[in-house]
Chains A and B, each alone.
Chain A
Amino acid sequence: MTAFQKKLWTGLVVMALLSPIGIFLPKFFGAEDAWGEWSAAKLKELIGYIPAGLEKLAALWKAPIPDYNPGGEDAALGIQVVWYVVSGLLGILLVAGVVYLLAKLSKKDEK
């Protein structure tokens, strides 16, 4: 690994440590979900009903760490911060690992 690459990896870890900014900023400015990404319950508040097909499909998958914040937005802030940082670090490992392996594999037969 070159010195420059080491610096970039360090930068990525720093980003993961700073990622809880992504919780604090919306809280501070009173902003909620991204447009079109509401939960079924929230959608009911917005339009008065849950579309039938949506209700069925929405429950299809239970992610192990939902929204990088499995305690939810009402959990103690400290817990949310820890989960965000853990998710960020885990995310680095997962995506960088898979991309690295896939790229290596696709070039394996190359001399």
Chain B
Amino acid sequence: MHIPDGYLSPQTYIPMLGVAALFWTVAVRKIRTVLSHRHIPYLAMAAAFSFLIQMFNIPIPGGTTGHAVGGAVVAILLGPWPAVLAISIVLVIQAIVFGDGGITAIGANCFNMAVVMPFVSYWVFRMIKGSETGGKRFQAAAFFAGYIGLTTAAIATAIQFGIQPLIAQNAQGLPLYAPYPLSIALPVMAAEHLLLFGIVEGAVTAMLVQYFVKNEPDLIYACREV
């Protein structure tokens, strides 16, 4: 769901850059209080993990590809605000160095994957797990944090794609940017994430959270904060 250059109109990508910048500013302030020095190496590793997991393209046979983002596990382990920062850095470097996602779309891509995803994931995790710190319900909470978080980010992306034909057309009425309307973008992106990519994100999230519960339980932000 990395929107490339050219798919968003300036009427979309400029405000999205503004929104993302707002979240970046708050995130930088927040990590001072939320993150202790002990957590900084983990945040660096979290960013590296998110970068790498995105390289594992998952195919829909004969169709499109997609991938997990790692935004849910980062938000659960280190908190949603540090996740905003770590995933944003990943997306900026992907755009500049690897051409994955457009330069103009950095704001939109960061909003979808580095803001919507970590916050939705974190909220879902807290809601489902209740006061549990282990067991079936806790694991389900981690799975659904990834599943719902990634799917929501995909839906946000699909909306940004789908409104383009409404925003900008040429004299003949042809779209100037992303050509597919909401009625196509929304169901396609929602379905591929609900049926496949979201499940992968959920499984990865549940596995890793479980691994940290076993090895470094006091690190987990979502179990610490009240």
Contacts and interface: CB of A to CB of B under 8 A. Distances in A.
Contacts of B5: 57-61
A20 B189 CA distance: 25
Given A40-B6, A92-B51, A53 B62 contact: no
Interface in B142-200: 157-158, 161, 168, 170, 174-180, 185, 188-189, 192
Interface residues of B, number: 74
A102 B185 contact: no
A36 B47 contact: no
B174 A51 contact: yes
A19 to B, nearest CB: 4
Nearest to B9: A53
Contacts of A100: 40-41, 43-44
Contact of A52 (B46, B89, B90, B176): B176
Secondary structure at the A interface, as helix, strand, loop or mixed, is helix
Interface of A: 1, 4-5, 8-9, 12, 15-16, 18-19, 21-23, 25-26, 28-37, 40, 43, 47, 49, 51-68, 84, 87-88, 90-92, 94-100, 102-104, 106-107, 110
Contacts of A49: 174
Nearest to B37: A107
A36 B1 contact: yes
A79 to B, nearest CB: 16
Contacts of B176: 51-54
B2 interface: yes
Contacts of B66: 34-35
Interface stretch (B15-23, B92-100, B113-121, B129-137): B92-100
Contact of B62 (A31, A36, A87): A31
